[in-house]
């Protein structure tokens, strides 16, 4: 008993804060490797650039790799997902196979001197809670002009993706007003303010300027808020490019469901789903 007393007296007691610090999990930073592929066959040229996750929180790394595999059409038994350069080469070779098959079709065409497909997937923005990537395609396979596509995606630390399914009340007058204001800012030039009638003239594919559809591409988070982007021809004419705008998170909060509110660690004052 005396020995036990001596031993217990010699040990320094630990406060609850010390224990909490020891038990607190250390977040593993996301580490990316930039992999590239480039090749030219005849007049066909392909470039691929990917910021590929090689280290970090397991759920997050796995989610990003699976998303990339979906985009590039990678089957599970073709290349290991951990093989960053292998995945990049797979997609580059796949694009080149498709594009080089057009060489013969345009070999004597005086107007088509180059066919190309460039694709990049790069980190755009990161916080402690989520990371956003931007996928961009620049394609020309003959015809009048090439075309660009853009699609961003936000991943939360637990591997979940942000998607349109986390939005609500997008048909409401309040949300539709946010869409109109965003598009109005995109189409306005030199400080001019477009009326709803003028905006309707720009949105030639939209039947009702008061019921604007969400973009086909998922919205994604950047520093200023939630970013929306429409592809060429989706709601307007080709020369309009890709209509895009950002809605501040404070204005977006009433239109996020409980799942999004929780993932973003926002205060939820609305009990509706």
What are the pLDDT digits (tens) for 59-111?
999 999 999 999 999 987 889 999 999 999 999 999 999 999 998 888 888 88
Q: What are phi and psi of 59, to 5 degrees?
A: -65, -40
How large is the average pLDDT for residues 244-259? 97
**Per the structure block, which two tokens stand in for 228?**
């929306």
As given in the structure block, the two tokens for residue 124 are 């755009």
Indicate if the pLDDT at residue 11 is higher than 70: no
For the segment 187-245, what is each residue's pLDDT rounded down to a tens digit? 998 667 899 999 999 999 999 999 999 999 999 999 999 999 999 999 999 999 999 99
Question: What pLDDT score does 267 carry?
Answer: 78
> Given this model, what pLDDT does residue 104 score?
85
**Taking 50 as the threshold, does the pLDDT of residue 146 lie above it?**
yes
Average pLDDT, the chain: 89
Say how far apart CA 213 and CA 179 lie, in whole Å: 9
Minimal CA–CA distance to 199: which of 212, 180, 176?
180
Asked which of 12-21, 47-56, 259-268 is least confident by mean pLDDT, the reply is 12-21
CB 269: neighbour CB atoms within 10 A? 8
What pLDDT does 27 receive?
74
Please count the other Cβ atoms lying within 10 Å of the Cβ belonging to residue 193.
Answer: 8
Tell me how far apart the alpha carbons of residues 51 and 135 are, in angstroms, rounded to a whole number. Answer: 10
Find residue 181's DSSP bridge partners. none
Residue 237 burial (CB count, 10 A): 12
Q: What is the mean pLDDT of residues 129-144?
A: 95
Q: Is the pLDDT of residue 151 over 90?
A: yes
Q: What percent of the chain has pLDDT over 70?
A: 88
Enter the tokens of residue 103: 């060489």
Strand partners, 136: 120, 150
Q: What are phi and psi of 183, to 5 degrees?
A: -70, -35
């Amino acid at each position: 008993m005396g020995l036990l007393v001596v031993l217990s007296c010699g040990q320094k007691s630990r406060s609850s804060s010390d224990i909490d610090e020891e038990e607190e999990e250390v977040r593993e930073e996301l580490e990316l490797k930039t992999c590239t592929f480039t090749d030219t066959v005849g007049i066909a040229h392909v470039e691929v650039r990917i910021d590929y996750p090689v280290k970090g929180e397991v759920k997050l790394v796995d989610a990003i790799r699976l998303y990339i595999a979906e985009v590039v059409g990678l089957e599970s038994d073709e290349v290991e997902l951990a093989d960053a350069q292998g995945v990049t080469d797979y997609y580059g070779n796949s694009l080149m196979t498709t594009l080089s098959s057009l060489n013969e079709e345009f070999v004597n065409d005086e107007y088509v001197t180059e066919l190309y497909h460039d694709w990049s997937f790069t980190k755009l923005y990161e916080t402690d809670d989520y990371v956003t990537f931007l996928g961009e395609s620049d394609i020309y396979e003959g015809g009048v002009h090439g075309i660009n596509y853009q699609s961003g995606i936000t991943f939360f630390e637990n591997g979940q993706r942000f998607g349109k399914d986390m939005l609500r009340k997008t048909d409401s007058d309040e949300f539709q007003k946010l869409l109109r204001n965003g598009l109005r800012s995109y189409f306005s030039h030199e400080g001019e303010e477009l009326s709803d009638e003028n905006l309707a003239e720009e949105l030639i594919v939209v039947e009702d300027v008061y019921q604007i559809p969400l973009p086909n591409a998922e919205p994604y988070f950047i520093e200023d808020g939630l970013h929306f982007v429409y592809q060429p021809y989706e709601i307007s004419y080709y020369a309009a490019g890709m209509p895009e705008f950002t809605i501040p998170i404070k204005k977006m909060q009433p239109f996020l469901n409980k799942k999004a509110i929780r993932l973003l660690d926002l205060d939820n004052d609305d009990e509706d789903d």
